[in-house]
Amino acid sequence: METPAIRVSGLVKRYHGSDEPTVNGLDLEVREGEIFGLLGPNGAGKTTTLSIICGLLKATSGAVQVLGEDVTRHPGRIKHLLGFVPQDIALYQTLTARENLNFFGRMHGLRGAVLKGRIADLLAVVGLEKSADRRVSTYSGGMKRRANLAAGIIHQPRLLVLDEPTVGIDAQSRGLIFDNLRLLSSGRTTMVYATHYMEEAQKLCTRVAIMDSGRVLLQGAPGQLVAERPGCRNLEELFLELTGRSLRD
Amino acid sequence: MRLLAAIWKELLLLLRDRGGVAILFVMPTAMVLITTLVQEDALRAVRGGRTSVLVAVAEGDRFGAAVVKGLSDSGAFEVVSELRGRPVTEETIREQLRLGTYTIGIAVPTGVAERIAAGADRLLARMMPAAMAPPSPAVTEPPGVVAAYFDPSVRAPFRRAVVSALERLSQGVEVRVMMGKIEGLMSGVSGKPAAGPTWDAEPHVAVREVSTGQGGADVMPSSVQQNVPAWALFAMFMISIPLSGGIIRERDGGTLVRLRTLPVSPATILAAKVIVYAGVCLFQFLFLLVIGSQVLPRLGTASLDVGTQYAGIAAAALAAAFAATGFGILMGVINRTTEQSSVFCATAVVIAAALGGVMVPSFLMPYKLQQAGHFSPMQWGLSAFVDLFLRGGTILTVLPQLAKLVAFGALTLGAAVLVFRRRE
């Protein structure tokens, strides 16, 4: 049987001074090569879960295996295989896109002609060749998001973790980002994709997990989950039925 | 490779931060130029340079001539008794002090020498009535008053020194006149002319100035020697503003999170910051040394003399750079926003500079503030530089100051790592 790319079991994360755990006994499994959507309202524990998977946070308890490595014990071992696209535009604003990609590429150990070629390819893929030598601070929101994605995949990671990568951008940029993610997926990159946009998840993800209050409520292929729930026409209706309509802060 | 990439990134970020570069180079240059020129006169006076003094004396007046000679011979004053070809009068003194052109003026009334001579005759007539003619009637007119004018900015100790010098000159004249009279009287009684040295030609008590500096050298720094290292240290510690700002922007913008997912150790990222900013500190130091040796002399000051202890100077600059970098990194870690960090860093650096003798030399500060200054890293650095530049200090003699700077850098850096780990 194939080893899953990510296996999380009984994951608990309680922040210092907090009464309730942010992640409370979470279990999930992500298979190699799939685009896995992590859906949930604000405060559901998505970002905390992703941070633990990436080795940025220590779990209070539970087990997290990523690409065969126990990240709770050895977070450093997966770093060369991991790409991370955070919700923030995690780029140096006063550097150009090319300079940012050059820096992050070199941090991943790329150099010389390989790095140069990779940067040129990526800039073309995310549609920033013409503005590659402009400072990121001068970019539109969509351009920044595309550059942010490029910085996360410069080293062709085996696992790409994306935290709300399309927040606040136009349909064109979103479409381009989706195309790139599908391209990456076809190249066997596994993706974990946290989003608020149900339509996005339904289009892009092979499987999704809907979580709330630090637990997974339901997981499976989007079409199958909707079909199994009578009265729900799409993922958004299913999501609202599971998580409720009350506002979340 | 990764370290080089991180260093290059830090350099690019710094060079594109125009405000940061202005803080690091433009402001200290302006400060060193202005302060050195402003303090030039004051420190020259403290060091023992000559101060210009307006003196109003009547032509041919013996006492006035003695005052002019005495002030000139003291080496402390440059006597100005003529302005634009016209003799200085009491009115001229008032006018020039009002304009601020001069700060000290002395007006000597006429006939003081004659009064002294008449006074000596009366005294001798009372002491030796048989040998002297009957005394002239008692004088009812007031004594001659030498007026000393001071600009309000002249410090009280300096005023007292000037008045004391005038009184000493006056007493010297009185003694000479009295001794002349006595000698004349004695030669009249004995029928022999007076011979041998006169009383005032033979000093019986001499005062020797002893410098406490190594080798007995004069250890008072010139304005250039005081201000160039002082403002270089100030500039070094001001790197805390762009350095902490960069760290906060990395944290707030999310790049720090991305950095932590990269296969690179936090020590590499930290080392790149320390190397770049410590390098900038050393460059600032060299830059201000060039200002002190090339630019300031063209503006009328002395040229910066750094002595010959180059290894000691390099070690002191390196230790100060490390201390400044550690401080900047700690500020970046503990402050939440760039605004908070800018205000905190600027305030802390200005206070440390004031206590450390950067703005006003420590030896001019009250004792308690001098003691408080011993807690300022800038005082440690400045003390090391002044020792190396002026007092014949070596790398060994300034080791205590260097050790304090390195310990400060290590402590702040260690604290930054601890706080960072706690928060993350």
Instruction: Determine the pLDDT at residue B201.
Output: 54
Over residues A55-61, the mean pLDDT reads 90
Residues of B in contact with A111 (CB under 8 A): 1
Instruction: Determine the pLDDT at residue B45.
Output: 58
Task: Give the model confidence (pLDDT) of B139-155 as tens digits.
Answer: 555 667 888 998 887 77
Return the higher-pLDDT residue of B226 and B240: B240
Q: B interface toward A at CB cutoff 8 Å?
A: 1-2, 5-6, 8-9, 12-13, 16-17, 249, 253-255, 257-264
Residues A154 and A100 sit within 8 Å (Cβ to Cβ): no
Contact (CB<8Å) A84/B258: yes
For residue A211 the two structure tokens come to: 């979580």
In this model, does residue B199 exceed pLDDT 80? Answer: no
Contact (CB<8Å) A91/B253: yes
Secondary structure (3-state) at A33? coil
Mean pLDDT is lowest, of A81-90, A240-249, B100-109, for: A240-249
Over residues B185-193, the mean pLDDT reads 69
Contacts of B157 (CB under 8 A, 6+ apart): none
In this model, does residue B26 exceed pLDDT 60? Answer: yes
User: Domains in chain A, start-ordered, CATH in brackets?
Assistant: 6-243 (3.40.50.300)
Pick from A88, A108, A135: CB nearest B262: A108
Alpha carbon of B333: minimum distance to chain A alpha carbons (Å): 17
For residue B212 the two structure tokens come to: 């406490």
Task: Give the model confidence (pLDDT) of B331-376 as tens digits.
Answer: 999 998 999 999 999 999 999 999 998 888 777 778 888 888 889 9
Alpha carbon of B259: minimum distance to chain A alpha carbons (Å): 8
Instruction: Determine the pLDDT at residue A198.
Output: 86
Q: Suggest the residue from A66, A87, A94 to mutate for an interface test with chain B (most B CBs closer than 10 A).
A: A94
How many Å is the maximal CA-CA distance in chain A?
57
For residue A34 the two structure tokens come to: 């799939």
Residues of A in contact with B6 (CB under 8 A): 103, 107
Sign of the torsion angle spanned by Cα atoms A140, A144, A146, A150: positive
Alpha carbon of A245: minimum distance to chain B alpha carbons (Å): 31
Where is B176: in which H helix or E strand?
helix B156-190
Task: Give the model confidence (pLDDT) of A6-21 as tens digits.
Answer: 999 999 999 888 888 9
Indicate whether this complex's ipTM tops 0.85.
yes
Over residues B310-320, the mean pLDDT reads 94
Query: What gap in Å lies between CA A221 and CA A30, rounded to an integer?
Result: 12
Which long-range CB contacts under 8 A does B147-150 form with residues at least 24 apart?
A: B147/B90, B147/B106, B147/B107, B148/B104, B148/B105, B148/B106, B149/B54, B149/B93, B149/B94, B149/B97, B149/B104, B149/B105, B149/B106, B149/B107, B150/B97, B150/B103, B150/B104
Return the higher-pLDDT residue of B304 and B144: B304
Instruction: Determine the pLDDT at residue B216.
Output: 45
pLDDT band at A27 (very low <50, low <70, confident <90, very high): very high
pLDDT band at B217 (very low <50, low <70, confident <90, very high): very low
Secondary structure (3-state) at A129? coil
In this model, does residue A101 exceed pLDDT 90? Answer: yes
Q: Where are the domains of chain B?
A: 2-43+225-423, 50-210
Pick from A92, A135, A152: CB nearest B255: A92
Residues B153 and B93 sit within 8 Å (Cβ to Cβ): no
Mean pLDDT is lowest, of A45-49, B181-185, B289-293, for: B181-185
Over residues B51-73, the mean pLDDT reads 85
Residues A107 and B264 sit within 8 Å (Cβ to Cβ): yes
pTM of the model: 0.74
Query: What gap in Å lies between CA B166 and CA B71, rounded to an integer?
Result: 8
Cα B399-B405-B410 angle, rounded to 5 deg:
120
pLDDT band at B215 (very low <50, low <70, confident <90, very high): very low
Task: Give the model confidence (pLDDT) of A181-212 as tens digits.
Answer: 888 878 788 999 998 888 888 888 999 999 98
Task: Tell me what the pLDDT averaged over chain B comes to.
Answer: 84
Residues of B in contact with A99 (CB under 8 A): 9, 12
Over residues B117-125, the mean pLDDT reads 79
pLDDT band at B291 (very low <50, low <70, confident <90, very high): very high
Q: Please state which of the four CATH numbers 3.40.50, 1.10.10, 3.40.190, 2.30.230 is assigned to the domain occupying B50-210.
A: 3.40.190
Instruction: Determine the pLDDT at residue B135.
Output: 58
Residues of B in contact with A87 (CB under 8 A): 254
Cα B262-B337-B373 angle, rounded to 5 deg:
110
Instruction: Determine the pLDDT at residue B344.
Output: 93
Return the higher-pLDDT residue of A4 and B209: A4
Contact (CB<8Å) B262/A86: no
Mean pLDDT is lowest, of A78-92, B280-294, B352-366, for: B352-366
Contacts of A137 (CB under 8 A, 6+ apart): A93, A94
Alpha carbon of A233: minimum distance to chain B alpha carbons (Å): 37
Ordered alpha helix ranges (H), B211-265:
223-238, 240-253, 255-260
Task: Tell me what the pLDDT averaged over chain A comes to.
Answer: 89
In this model, does residue B87 exceed pLDDT 70? Answer: yes
